[in-house]
Amino acid sequence: MVNETTTDPRAAGTVRWTSGTNLALGIWLIIAPFVLGYSGLPAPLWNDLVCGLLIAILAGVRLGKPAHAEWASWTNAGIGAWLIIAPWVLAGYLSAAVWNDVIVGIVVLVLGAYSASAAKKLK
- Dump pLDDT digits (tens) for 56-71: 999 999 998 877 888 9
Domain count, the chain: 1
CB atoms near residue 72 (< 10 Å): 26
Is position 2 within any domain?
A: no
Q: Is the dihedral of CA 85, 44, 95, 100 positive or negative?
A: negative
Tell me the residue range of the domain where 42 lies. 8-122
Residue 112: CB atoms within 10 Å = 27
Does some domain include residue 97?
A: yes
**Residue 53 in domain:** yes
What are the tens digits of pLDDT across the range 54-107? 999 999 999 988 778 889 999 999 999 999 999 999 998 999 999 999 999 999
Smallest Cα–Cα separation from 48: which of 103, 120, 123? 103
Q: Tell whether 3 is covered by a domain.
A: no
Single out the residue of 44, 110, 31 nearest to residue 78, CA to CA.
110
| pLDDT score of 11 | 75
Instruction: Flag whether 63 is in a domain.
Output: yes
Distance from C-alpha of 52 to C-alpha of 11, rounded to nearest angstrom: 25
> pLDDT: is 115 or 5 the higher one?
115
pTM of the model: 0.88
Q: Distance between CA 88 and CA 119 in Å, rounded? A: 33
What does DSSP assign to residue 93?
-
Angle of helix 70-89 versus helix 42-64 axis, rounded to 10 = 170
The answer as to whether 61 is a domain residue is yes
